[in-house]
Chains A and B, each alone.
Chain A
Amino acid sequence: MPASLLERRLHFVVGKGGVGKTTVAAALALTLARRGRRTLAVDMEPGRRLAGLLGREADPRLSVLHVDGRAALEEYLNLVIPVKRLLATVFASKIYQYFVAAAPGLKELMTVGKIWYEATRSEGGGPAWDAIVVDAPATGHSLQYLRMPQAARETFGAGLVQREASKITELLRDRRATAVHLVTLAEEMPVIETLEMRAQLTGALGLPLGYVIVNRLHRRRFDPAAVERLRAAAKTAPAPEQALLRCVVERAAEESGWSDINAANLARLHAGIGEAPLVELPFLFVEEFGPAELEQVARLLEAGMAGGAEAAARQRSRSS
Chain B
Amino acid sequence: MTLRELVERHQIVISAGSGGVGKTTVAASIALWGALAGRRAVVITIDPARRLASSLGLETLGSEAREIPAAFFAAQGLAAPRGSLAAMMLDQKGAWDALVERHAPAEARARILQNPFYQHLSQTFAGSQEYMAIEQLCLLAESGAYDLIVVDTPPTRHALDFLEAPKRIGDFLDRKVVKWFVRPYFSAGWSALRAMNRTVGFLLRRLEQATGISALAEISDFFTSMSGLFENFQPRVERAYKVLRGAETAFVLVTGPEEQVLGDAEYLSTKMAELHMPLKGVVLNRVHHEYRPAGRGARRGELEPEDAEQVTRAVATALGGAAGEAGELAANFVDYQALARGESLRLEMFRAGLPRAVPVVQVPNFARDVHDLASLAEMHAHLFGGKAAA
A interface vs B, CB < 8 Å? 16-19, 45, 47, 49, 77, 80-81, 86-87, 89-90, 93-96, 98-99, 101-106, 137-138, 144, 155-162, 187-189, 192, 221-223, 226-227, 229-230, 233-234, 237, 240-241, 243-245, 247-248, 250-258, 261, 285-289
B294 contacts A243, CB within 8 Å?
yes
B319 contacts A229, CB within 8 Å?
yes
B314 contacts A241, CB within 8 Å?
yes
Give the complex CA separation of A161 and B259 in angstroms: 41
Given contacts A99-B216, A103-B213, A254-B367, contact A47 B158 (CB under 8 A): yes
A192 to B, closest residue via Cβ: B50
Chain A residue contacts of B322, Cβ below 8 A: 226
Given contacts A17-B19, A229-B319, contact A157 B332 (CB under 8 A): no
Provide 9 A-B residue pairs closer than 8 Å at the C-beta atoms, listed in order of the A residue: A17-B20, A104-B116, A222-B329, A233-B320, A237-B318, A243-B293, A243-B294, A248-B311, A255-B367
Given contacts A80-B210, A96-B200, contact A257 B367 (CB under 8 A): yes
Give the complex CA separation of A301 and B119 in angstroms: 40
A240 contacts B302, CB within 8 Å?
yes
B367 contacts A261, CB within 8 Å?
yes
Chain B residue contacts of A256, Cβ below 8 A: 367
Chain B residue contacts of A138, Cβ below 8 A: 19, 155, 157
B216 contacts A251, CB within 8 Å?
no
B209 to A, closest residue via Cβ: A159
B344 to A, closest residue via Cβ: A287
Chain A residue contacts of B207, Cβ below 8 A: 77, 99
Interface string of B118-150 (1 = CB under 8 A from A): 011100110000000000000000000000000
Question: Taking the complex as formed, is B325 at the interface, i.e. its CB lies under 8 A from any CB of chain A?
Answer: yes
- Max chain A Cβ within 10 angstroms of own Cβ: one of B158, B203, B206, B216: B203
Question: Which one, A161, A286, A288, contacts B211 given CB within 8 A?
Answer: A161
Chain B residue contacts of A16, Cβ below 8 A: 20
B22 to A, closest residue via Cβ: A18
B226 vs chain A, min Cβ distance (A)? 14
Stretch of B71-79, B105-113, B333-341 lying at the A interface: B333-341
A18 contacts B19, CB within 8 Å?
yes
Chain A residue contacts of B368, Cβ below 8 A: 257, 261
Question: Which one, B181, B213, B333, B339, contacts A252 given CB within 8 A?
Answer: B333
B338 contacts A247, CB within 8 Å?
no
B210 contacts A286, CB within 8 Å?
no
B299 to A, closest residue via Cβ: A240
Question: Taking the complex as formed, is B114 at the interface, i.e. its CB lies under 8 A from any CB of chain A?
Answer: no
Give the complex CA separation of A47 and B19 in angstroms: 14
B204 contacts A159, CB within 8 Å?
no
A70 vs chain B, min Cβ distance (A)? 11
A16 to B, closest residue via Cβ: B20
A158 contacts B212, CB within 8 Å?
yes
B379 vs chain A, min Cβ distance (A)? 16
Chain A residue contacts of B18, Cβ below 8 A: 17
Given contacts A243-B293, A261-B368, A286-B338, contact A102 B200 (CB under 8 A): no
A294 vs chain B, min Cβ distance (A)? 13
B158 to A, closest residue via Cβ: A47
Chain A residue contacts of B366, Cβ below 8 A: 257
Give the complex CA separation of A254 and B322 in angstroms: 21
Chain A residue contacts of B291, Cβ below 8 A: 243-244, 247
B342 to A, closest residue via Cβ: A287
Question: Taking the complex as formed, is B215 at the interface, i.e. its CB lies under 8 A from any CB of chain A?
Answer: yes
Give the complex CA separation of A103 and B335 in angstroms: 51
B157 contacts A17, CB within 8 Å?
yes
Chain A residue contacts of B317, Cβ below 8 A: 241
- Max chain A Cβ within 10 angstroms of own Cβ: one of B155, B332, B345: B332
Give the complex CA separation of A254 and B337 in angstroms: 12
B318 contacts A87, CB within 8 Å?
no
A288 contacts B259, CB within 8 Å?
yes
Given contacts A90-B199, A222-B325, A244-B305, contact A258 B367 (CB under 8 A): yes
Chain A residue contacts of B260, Cβ below 8 A: 49
A304 vs chain B, min Cβ distance (A)? 20
Question: Taking the complex as formed, is B3 at the interface, i.e. its CB lies under 8 A from any CB of chain A?
Answer: no
A230 contacts B197, CB within 8 Å?
no
A244 contacts B259, CB within 8 Å?
no
A234 to B, closest residue via Cβ: B318
Chain A residue contacts of B177, Cβ below 8 A: 94, 98
B204 contacts A162, CB within 8 Å?
no
Given contacts A160-B210, A226-B325, contact A245 B318 (CB under 8 A): yes
Question: Taking the complex as formed, is B49 at the interface, i.e. its CB lies under 8 A from any CB of chain A?
Answer: yes
Chain B residue contacts of A158, Cβ below 8 A: 212
Inter-chain pairs besides A99-B215, A137-B157, A161-B211, 11 sampled, C-beta below 8 Å: A90-B203, A104-B116, A157-B213, A158-B212, A187-B369, A229-B319, A240-B301, A245-B314, A247-B291, A248-B332, A285-B336
